[in-house]
Chains A and B, each alone.
Chain A
Amino acid sequence: AQSVSQHNHHVILSEAASLELGCNYSYGGTVNLFWYVQYPGQHLQLLLKYFSGDPLVKGIKGFEAEFIKSKFSFNLRKPSVQWSDTAEYFCAVAGGSQGNLIFGKGTKLSVKP
């Protein structure tokens, strides 16, 4: 069965600090990988996605993620965070023919101004 692990439950950073959120998945076949963001009180929005090709994926708002197949990882990065990046971030994987997304438990990011 597919599963997604996000290593950090809560990350606290100061503005301008660099960010890396870990995500590991378990699935033996071809996967599509996603990062979603949920701002306080809002619904989930797609940040970026990986289907194939260049393993370094660039998303909105300066975020990027790198797919490392050998490590089953898809970590999210941003070189310099802003207070407005305070949100919860969810990694998700879709595999197989049906395409239902399996989400990690989420990582809450708090950015101090």
Chain B
Amino acid sequence: DAGVIQSPRHEVTEMGQEVTLRCKPISGHNSLFWYRQTMMRGLELLIYFNNNVPIDDSGMPEDRFSAKMPNASFSTLKIQPSEPRDSAVYFCASSLQGNYGYTFGSGTRLTVV
């Protein structure tokens, strides 16, 4: 089992550019979660999906952030336009039925300059 796969591992971009983060959940898991981790705010849940359907996006900071899950094996988190305050580590996690503990990906470290 390859685990939850995120790409890229590191992303450096200029303010105003579009950024797309990608996630492949564990095969068979039907829940997928996007988290953001910063020193100031800790781990924040941005959005999660059950069976490819967005359930709660109340954690998405603003309209510049969007997430999609077109199928059970792929999800994207897009920031357009990016700002320096978006700099953080973004983690994707997946689970089976949501209540049984998550498996996290290795994260994407985003730096917006």
Contact = CB atoms under 8 A, between A and B. Distances in A.
Interface of A: 32, 34, 36, 42-46, 49, 51, 90, 94, 98-106
B70 interface: no
Contacts of A106: 42-43
A98 B98 contact: yes
Contacts of B98: 94, 98-100
Given A102-B45, A103-B43, A43 B107 contact: yes
B68 to A, nearest CB: 18
A15 to B, nearest CB: 27
Nearest to B41: A105
Interface string B84-105: 0000000101010111111111
Contacts of A104: 42
Contact of B42 (A42, A45, A94, A105): A105
Q: Which secondary structure dominates where chain A touches chain B?
A: strand
Given A105-B42, A106-B43, A44 B48 contact: no
Contacts, number: 55
29 contacts: A32-B100, A32-B101, A34-B101, A43-B91, A43-B104, A43-B105, A43-B106, A44-B93, A44-B102, A45-B104, A46-B101, A51-B100, A90-B43, A98-B56, A99-B95, A99-B98, A99-B99, A100-B33, A100-B45, A100-B55, A100-B98, A101-B33, A102-B45, A103-B35, A103-B42, A103-B45, A105-B42, A106-B42, A106-B43
Given A43-B107, A106-B42, A106-B43, A100 B56 contact: yes
B60 to A, nearest CB: 14
